[in-house]
Structure 1
């Protein structure tokens, strides 16, 4: 205040000296900042700040700008929100410095720092719950509904924008909160699941070898019963085959097994075999034995040449 136009006084110790404040009780006085000008006019809240800026002269343009209708009302709402949520400690000149007990609980200390009042704590908890609800709704709508409806939404411009964004959000929510991005083993999980894929390769002696991922019976081998099985059976090769997802999963698996079997990615060819199975919703006698005994047919191949992959497969849903 280079103009020395402002005199600051504590409300608790000087309010009684001002007739303009006589009818305001102490609890109300603590809620706002008050100002009295040379004409004994009383101002409170955001108006006090505007009068201070004008009295200091050089920041007066800011005060006139904030006074513009619209900006003024926004500033008033913002000030009211801040004022109602700040922590107040009533005191006067007779107060002695308060001693606070040392809180060794780091969590409590942090929570008290970010939310010193009950209202602030409730607001922050509500925001966290809204965030969690949003993350769950994202997974429920996209993976629980849109992925399960037979349509080509993923190939549309909207789908090409929506699904990658949803996938990034899902990765975050799955990592942070464990929100699972697929409806695992619900009543319709196996509905329409009537194909099994396996991979083989032929060595220099024209001997066919099965990649130890899915065996001749069509059973997935250990140790691929965990995340790899989930990636393959719940995302890559599902009851409703999505070609780009299946190709992405095949690319990962073939790159691993071509390297693991010593074939390399410079010149590796894997044959893709398919076996038809049945997955009825009602009990069928000897269904497991029937599915295990089914025959395989070659339907395509996966070729790696100079670290570049080529996948040749028909429309599996039509087979």
Structure 2
């Protein structure tokens, strides 16, 4: 194992996949934090808008969003990753876990956030990389492209997904629902999960059984098959397709997209390089002639070349190449040095601000900036700024007046703060220690897997003791690492879901369904109420059959109070009806048209909520200790 670890540590690969992971992960995280911010009063207030949280959630989330934005663009990447990780630990590690919310998407988010703290994920496709190119250009240092990274970082991404899958597979191998081949069909047949109309899937028993068994086999074998090079890309593509498919059957896009972002970091760099190569133009559409003796000009050329992946503009030092351009022949050198010039394939000559407009247009994705720069009054203002800078810029000796000064020193050829460089022996020890703790933790968490009870030791006091020890260990490591059990939507989540709950606002004969559900009962896009985190709170912490009535009542009033305040509804002379309807649940035996029957079942009234937010009261048709069906 030591030899294998050394091989991973020493193997150097392109930093592009880590950049893809950083960008994809940041986009998913941005959406997650955005939902938390939009619903912060529902998520953090003891009673939304009435009794507000003592923690200032809005500033906390704004800082988190800012750190994520910096991580997305790769600006001060390491610092942004540390801040983002610290906030994830506070909000999702300790904050959510103390309320029993160790959701699978949060588990992946915490693990990925921890890894990003140590990864050199800003070496490519980042502002940090642009600043490095700019600094090298200022000092006439040749840029050889972003420094390679250790393959060990890719291994950690593979372990994140692979161990997640393996633990999930152990749960599936002891699940009657999955062993009967209905792991896909069972949840999809219930109205609470019907994000889209998936009757085309639920009405094909052979297809759903094939998918269920395939998912189990794929998860069980992924971590073992990935190391065979020919299988890597097919496994990555299959995994991405699998998680995009999950988004069709369950309203939990975060966990699927979070896993897809991890897959992005495993894609071989050659795939991206091939795609980038196909986008490059065969012949530059524009030749830009700049002053190579001007530090500011060299920096500008270096940055704009990096921002033009199509390579549609060729940047050429005018001292060597201007004389060979017929359109510039005969121009005095002083004039050429004052205004940057460009010549396109049609022979048109551009100068000054018009050169930059042409460069932006040729790059493709920067074309909107070119359009903006060409508009009045932006263009006249830009010309005045350009003329002022061009007249003051320093040449050859560096910048004398601050116009083209650098904010940071030129980068060294090596970066000793990165794990795989500098003190390699220390780096290896840290990597080996982290990997050992990770695998030991997986073993400890595995002790709570039902596989031990079902296949190995049976339901004995020893097994129950091991499970209790595993639970204690998870409470210790989860907030920092995200390591936990991965019983992702198993039998226990759905087997007792014999009825569904809906809230309806009623006043003066007008009825409005609260957006946790549609009238037909299927979860739909309702401004974020029925997606991801909110869907899980509503479905499994608020109206799941069998929950303590006190918990259900508390959360029903929270949802009602939040919605009434947000919508500006008047509760004077109004009420919110609590409706229920039967759901036929079968997790081990397939039935035709089960989804359609569940979605079209009749609603009955179970009770009502009356009173203004802060004084709301739930009245039920009949008393109960737990949330149960109030019909006959």
TM (norm. structure 1) is: 0.47
- Mark the structure with the bigger radius of gyration: 1
Structure 1 or 2: larger strand share?
Answer: 1
TM-score norm. by structure 2 comes to 0.26
Higher relative contact order (CA 8 A, sep 6+): 2
